[in-house]
Amino acid sequence: MPSDRLFGPSLTTDDMAAAVSDTAWLAAMLRFEAALATVQGRQGLISGDAVAGIVAACNPARFDVAVLGREAVASASPVVPLVAALRKAVGQEVATSVHRNATSQDVIDTAMMLISRDGLDILLVDLAALAAECANLAERHRDTPIAGRTLLQTALPTTFGCKAAIWLEGILDARRGLAGFRRDRLAVQLGGPVGTFSGSELVADLARELDLAQPDLPWQAARNRVAELGAMLAITAGAAAKIALDVALLAQSEVAEVVVAAPGSSSSMAHKRNPAQAIEARAAFALATAQSGVLLGAMAGEHERAAGAWQSEWPALTELFRVTAGAVARTLEMLTGLQVDAVRMRAKLGPAQIAPDTGGAAALVDRAIGIYRKEMEQ
């Protein structure tokens, strides 16, 4: 489902826009309700007929996202109208078995983890592709001398391959963090109205049903994992934006050591070759840092359920996934087909650096490529 917002497509990808869409959130919330009924049926808490009726009714096509959104205004939660609609759909006899032992936060928090899993799967694939492009540039330009620049001034020589190897390490490090979160930190939520539900067997069964981790305790009032994910996503966007900024600086008319393969145009100056993908990646990163700040701020919530801070997480995390995907995708597009002017790079070293000693840079490239290959084989 492509993004249909005016400022949306340039800052995300179609795959991520679909993965975190309102429809995807609805499907994830209904998946929680269906899974809850399923495990409660297995444990004899509700009847088999109730399970069948609830699971059949948990079809996203039966619900209108726009209507649920409007009705959510009255209770500050889309779960309230969703559960009401679900109970109406299953009929009076089964209605009491819907949403049993659960609360709105259980539904949304678990849906958040399901949405995050899909979003992380997309990012991990895209980051692997970006890492591959960085590794390709590093190997190809292992010995291509370029002026190192510190504080925006010419410093000592390095190689363009070394610069790409540093980009590679930033991307690999971000990918490691997200992969670890995907493996260990996506946890089900079933804490009940005030986060004291102690049905550990039911929680364990629900976690298995949804293929999520079982938390040691309900995390309704301890928002560390959400803030942690937000920080990791912003770091990922930042690792991509670092590459974008370097390329934009190298592509400046006065420097012209690289040329992007698909430059953007100007509405008034036909001669311009704007590094559009780099611009979009940096814009996406700026938005990512803002949204991650919302998630960090939401850690300080009131008592057993925050009044406003928790609600701020839903749109913030959604947008954070969108723009992080955009930063990574635009950076990958920018590097693909990047033209490197090795002659101009050498010329800008200056007369004192005709034969620069770049052995240390080349060794760093070799080390980075070795790390990359080992990780990609796992």
* 261 assigned to some structural domain: yes
Which residues are part of the catalytic machinery?
Answer: 266, 305
Contact 376, 175 (CB under 8 A): no
- Enter the tokens of residue 39: 């495990």
List phi, psi (to 5°) of 338: -60, 130
CA-nearest of 232, 236, 323 to 283 is 323
pLDDT in tens, the chain (378 residues): 445 677 777 799 999 999 999 999 999 999 999 999 999 999 999 999 999 999 999 999 999 999 999 999 999 999 999 999 999 999 999 999 999 999 999 999 999 999 999 999 999 999 999 999 999 999 999 999 999 999 999 888 999 999 999 999 999 999 999 999 999 999 999 999 998 987 889 999 999 999 999 999 999 999 999 999 999 999 999 999 999 999 999 999 899 999 988 765 555 666 667 788 999 999 999 999 999 999 999 999 999 999 999 999 999 999 999 999 999 999 999 999 999 999 999 988 865 565 567 789 999 999 999 999 999 988
| Kind plus residue range of the DSSP H or E element containing 356 | none
Neighbour tally for 267: CB within 10 Å: 6
pLDDT at residue 271, as a whole number: 67
Please count the structural domains in the chain: 1
- Give pTM, 2 decimals: 0.95
Q: Report CA 205 to chain centroid distance, whole Å.
A: 28
Q: Which of 307, 305, 320 is nearest to 106 (CA)?
A: 305
184 closest CA partner among 237, 224, 142: 224
Domain membership of residue 172 (yes or no) is: yes
pLDDT for 353:
64
**Phi/psi at 153 (5° precision):** -120, 150
Structural element, H or E, at residue 158? strand 153-159
Return d(Cα 325, Cα 56) in angstroms, integer: 34
pLDDT value of residue 356:
67
Q: What is the pLDDT of residue 6?
A: 76
157 Cβ partners below 8 Å, 6+ apart?
Answer: 145, 146, 147, 148, 349, 353, 356, 357, 358, 361
Location of structure tokens 């079933």: 190
Element (H, E) at 263: none
Closest among 377, 375, 368 to 139, alpha carbons compared: 368
Decide if 2 is inside a domain.
no
Do residues 12 and 54 make contact, with C-beta atoms less than 8 angstroms apart? no
Measured from the Cβ of residue 256, the count of other Cβ atoms closer than 10 Å reads 14
Closest CA to 364 of 174, 170, 158: 158
- Cβ atoms of 247 and 258 within 8 Å: the answer is yes
- Which residues are 23's β-sheet partners? none
- CATH for 214: 1.20.200.10
CB atoms within 10 A of CB 270: 7
Contacts of 329 (CB under 8 A, 6+ apart): 12, 13, 126
pLDDT at 359: 80
The residue assigned the tokens 């009131």 is: 302
Distance CA 220, CA 228 (A): 15
Is residue 1 in a domain?
A: no
Asked if residue 161 is part of any domain, the answer here is yes
pLDDT the model gives residue 1: 43
User: Is residue 118 in a domain?
Assistant: yes
Establish if 5 belongs to a structural domain.
no
217 in a structural domain: yes
Would you say 106 and 32 are in contact if contact means Cβ atoms under 8 Å apart?
A: yes
Query: Quick one: the chain helix, strand, coil %, rounded to 5?
Result: 65, 5, 30
For residue 14, what are the domain limits? 10-377
Give the pLDDT of residue 9: 77
Say how many Å lie between the first and final Cα of the chain, rounded.
32
Separation CA 177–CA 157 (nearest Å): 32
Do residues 245 and 282 make contact, with C-beta atoms less than 8 angstroms apart? yes
Cβ atoms of residues 170 and 149 within 8 Å = no
